[in-house]
Amino acid sequence: MPHFPNLFSPFKIGSMAVKNRIVMPAMETHLCDKEGFVTPEVISYYRARAKGGVGYITVENTSIDPAGRINDGMLCIHEDKYVDGLKRLGEEVHGAGGKVVIQLNHAGKEALTYFTGMESVSPSPIPSPLTRTVPRELTILEIEAIVDKFAQGAERVFRAGADGVEIHMAHGYLVCQFLSPESNIRTDRYGGDTEGRARFAVEIVQSIRSKVPKDFPVICRISADEYTEKGLKLEEGKVIARLLESAGASALHVSACNSASAVYNIPCYYLEEGCFIHLASGIKSAVKVPVITVGRILRPEMAEESLRGGKADLVSMGRSLIADPYWPKKVEEGRLEDIRPCISCNRCIESIVEERLVCTVNPCIGREWELERKPMPVAKKVLVVGGGPAGLSAAAVAGEMGHKIWLWEKEPLLGGKYRYASMAPKKEYMRKFLDYLIKQAKKYATDIQCNKEATVEAIKEFAPEVVILANGAKDEFLQIPGVSNNHLMEVLDAFNEAGSLGANVAIVGGGPEGCELADYLLTQGKQVTIIEMRRVLGLGLVAHPRYHISERLKKAGAKIMINTKVLEVGRGFIVVSRRGEDKQKLDGFDSIIMSCLHRPNDALADPLKKWIKEVHVVGDAVQGRTALEAVAEGACAALKL
């Protein structure tokens, strides 16, 4: 059994004693109501993480000022009326054996003015890299008022019975804007050298200290490196860390980036695991207070190593705890293979731009009670058709509810299209998730058969009470002159037969699948041309991976033709027309790969509905999308049984 003695050793930050070194960092959920009050969903979400055994939870960034609220998905604490809800939340977390710290934030120039209805503010009138809005420069009186608002917020956190408070000084929000030489060009006492730029942060800590007991934890979250040309770098981060320590900070939570470098801040699968540990280690060398590290630390071995090596005192694991609230308990009990792994796809962060938090691998965010199922009084005979993510998810959830599940998959292997997702470079965590799904389905299903094609006749003969159709999309080539000749290959076949494609390959369609195939073929030393009709590559991908894959393809020397329409394909050649230019014949390809349209698949649904009372269609069979919808719809269909 793996043993992680450092990770599971107790620790103290001020008056807060924690049972282990695992921290849940602040992560917005948008589960609050539009006015920023705690809802039952917020409570359900955090209670589950407390039950899962995390050392302490940092509640998502909570607004200390209506003008600094990013949008209407952000919790609030700028008035006393918010204290009761936060108190209830704290009591639930405590009841589940956890500790709770609340993060306070003012978004500064990153507050969305169309939402707040107020001007955005910042130390200097430098546009927001995200919204391009030019903020108004704060006056000294206004700065002092905001310092006071942070202190009032912290005092409310204390009154709400929380175990500590964290001040968001990272990621390009207001305090970070003051600290940064990039966004603070003031010449008064709140600008200039490091000490001047840090004055706002220091005064916040001092002001909070005057309002809460001496040992009440006041944690400062900083971006030790902003990952931009003119932003903060580690050496200056160390000076700031020392100033915060002297002002009374109880611990430093060391993150990175600002809004101009957001593609690195929440590291997606293209970035290295543990990519900010060196920053925590650098800060730790400069201060005596405890230091928390964060950033794609997915495996307990890495967490343990960063503690053992003295690089940090605690380890923050954000998305791993979104994906599986029980990560700490499972690790402590040595059940590593039961962990539902975060695949670093960043659908979560994209989701909260407009909606509530969702996760590709965890379909029950904010309604965790739904997964705490009791066996159903009457077990139904259920046939699941298709062993991709949707079918596996349906089989596992329905099986766990006590139904009798049979799953038929026509291919020799389970996994559906998702098997190819993990073949692309840097996407090996997709395989881990697939293995998890397969393991869960096998654990709870009565029988799983591969090489078994479901036909209407076979299903009728089997006579299930319920059929869950998870048989994937109907794939069709784009309709272009020449495609009917059988010299073209599909993306999935190209993954399987990369060795026989020859040296010079063209991919028609630079969507997610085309881009990932290109990435894969480039690592095999092939020359790759991607032809895409739209003006950007990878449309449909989450923004962060889309940025990184475009960079990877450019760096690896792919020939990228965007705004380019394919008019005809033939053996070894493609005729294209670039916007505003004449036709062009591209010749000499050894292979041409065509992306497909993913159509709804109703081949079985319509005939079956005449015979079977309960037929559910889920995943790509409804419409070609992603694993997120497949996993969620599979689970939802099961929960309806």
Q: Which residues are catalytic, by number?
A: 173
Contact criterion met (CB below 8 Å) for 26 and 170:
no
Annotate 264-309 with DSSP letters as a single string.
HHS--TTSPTTTTHHHHHHHHTT-SS-EEE-SS--SHHHHHHHHHT
Residue 635 binds to ligand SF4 (criterion: CB under 6 A): no
Cα separation, 104 vs 207, whole angstroms:
14
Total residues at interface with ligand FAD (CB under 6 A): 35
The footprint of ligand FAD on residues 594-623 (CB under 6 A) is 619-621
Q: How far is the CB of 255 from ligand FAD (least distance, A)?
A: 25
Cα separation, 229 vs 227, whole angstroms:
7
Annotate 140-153 with DSSP letters as a single string.
HHHHHHHHHHHHHH
The footprint of ligand SF4 on residues 365-384 (CB under 6 A) is none
Alpha helices of 16-69 — where are they, by DSSP H? 40-51
For ligand FMN, the nearest residue by Cβ is: 318
Tally of CB atoms within 10 A around 431: 17
The footprint of ligand FAD on residues 413-442 (CB under 6 A) is 416-418, 420-421, 430
Contact criterion met (CB below 8 Å) for 301 and 334:
no
Q: What is the DSSP letter of 546?
A: H
Total residues at interface with ligand SF4 (CB under 6 A): 13
Nearest to 549 by CA among 366, 357, 421: 421
Residue 391 binds to ligand FAD (criterion: CB under 6 A): yes
Residue 52 binds to ligand FMN (criterion: CB under 6 A): no
Residue 408 binds to ligand FAD (criterion: CB under 6 A): yes
Which member of 344, 393, 550, 564 binds ligand SF4 (CB under 6 A)?
344
Residue 621 binds to ligand FMN (criterion: CB under 6 A): no
Interface mask toward ligand FMN for 157-196; x: CB under 6 A: -----------x-xx-------------------------
Q: How far is the CB of 17 from ligand SF4 (least distance, A)?
A: 28
Which member of 13, 331, 359, 631 binds ligand SF4 (CB under 6 A)?
359
Q: Choose the one of ligand FMN, ligand SF4, ligand FAD, none that binds residue 28, judging by a C-beta under 5 to 8 angstroms depending on kind.
A: ligand FMN
Contact criterion met (CB below 8 Å) for 99 and 314:
no
The footprint of ligand FMN on residues 84-113 (CB under 6 A) is 103
Q: How far is the CB of 296 from ligand SF4 (least distance, A)?
A: 9
Residue 421 binds to ligand SF4 (criterion: CB under 6 A): no
Q: What is the DSSP letter of 539?
A: B
Q: Choose the one of ligand FAD, ligand FMN, ligand SF4, none that binds residue 389, judging by a C-beta under 5 to 8 angstroms depending on kind.
A: ligand FAD
Nearest to 267 by CA among 316, 206, 331, 327: 316
Which region among 156-164, 288-296, 423-431, 613-621 touches ligand FMN (by CB under 6 A)? 288-296
Q: How far is the CB of 453 from ligand FAD (least distance, A)?
A: 4
Helix (H, G, I), strand (E, B) or coil at 541: strand
Q: Choose the one of ligand FMN, ligand FAD, ligand SF4, none that binds residue 103, judging by a C-beta under 5 to 8 angstroms depending on kind.
A: ligand FMN
Cα separation, 61 vs 157, whole angstroms:
12
Of the pair 494, 592, the CB lying nearest ligand FAD is at 494
Contact criterion met (CB below 8 Å) for 616 and 349:
no
Of the pair 290, 386, the CB lying nearest ligand FAD is at 386
**Cβ neighbours for 179, distance < 8 A, ≥ 6 positions apart:** 169, 197, 198, 200, 201, 222, 223, 232, 240
Nearest to 50 by CA among 358, 325, 340: 325
Cα separation, 41 vs 47, whole angstroms:
10
Of the pair 76, 348, the CB lying nearest ligand SF4 is at 348
Q: How far is the CB of 449 from ligand SF4 (least distance, A)?
A: 29
Q: Choose the one of ligand FAD, ligand FMN, ligand SF4, none that binds residue 156, judging by a C-beta under 5 to 8 angstroms depending on kind.
A: none
Residue 135 binds to ligand FAD (criterion: CB under 6 A): no
Cα separation, 428 vs 520, whole angstroms:
12
Cα-to-chain-centroid distance, residue 376: 33
Residue 345 binds to ligand SF4 (criterion: CB under 6 A): yes
416 Rama sector, left if φ>0, alpha if ψ -120 to 50, beta otherwise: left
Q: How far is the CB of 256 from ligand SF4 (least distance, A)?
A: 17
Nearest to 144 by CA among 192, 188, 194, 195: 188
Which region among 173-181, 194-202, 305-313, 336-344 touches ligand SF4 (by CB under 6 A)? 336-344
Contact criterion met (CB below 8 Å) for 222 and 255:
yes
- Distance in Å from the first CA to the final CA of the chain: 37
Of the pair 345, 574, the CB lying nearest ligand SF4 is at 345
The footprint of ligand FMN on residues 437-476 (CB under 6 A) is none
Nearest to 232 by CA among 209, 203, 201: 201
Residue 322 binds to ligand SF4 (criterion: CB under 6 A): yes
Binding site for ligand FMN (CB under 6 A): 25-28, 60-61, 103, 168, 170-171, 221, 255, 266-267, 294-297, 316-319, 348-349, 352, 357
Binding site for ligand FAD (CB under 6 A): 345, 360, 385-391, 408-411, 416-418, 420-421, 430, 453-454, 470-472, 492, 513, 516, 619-621, 625-628, 630
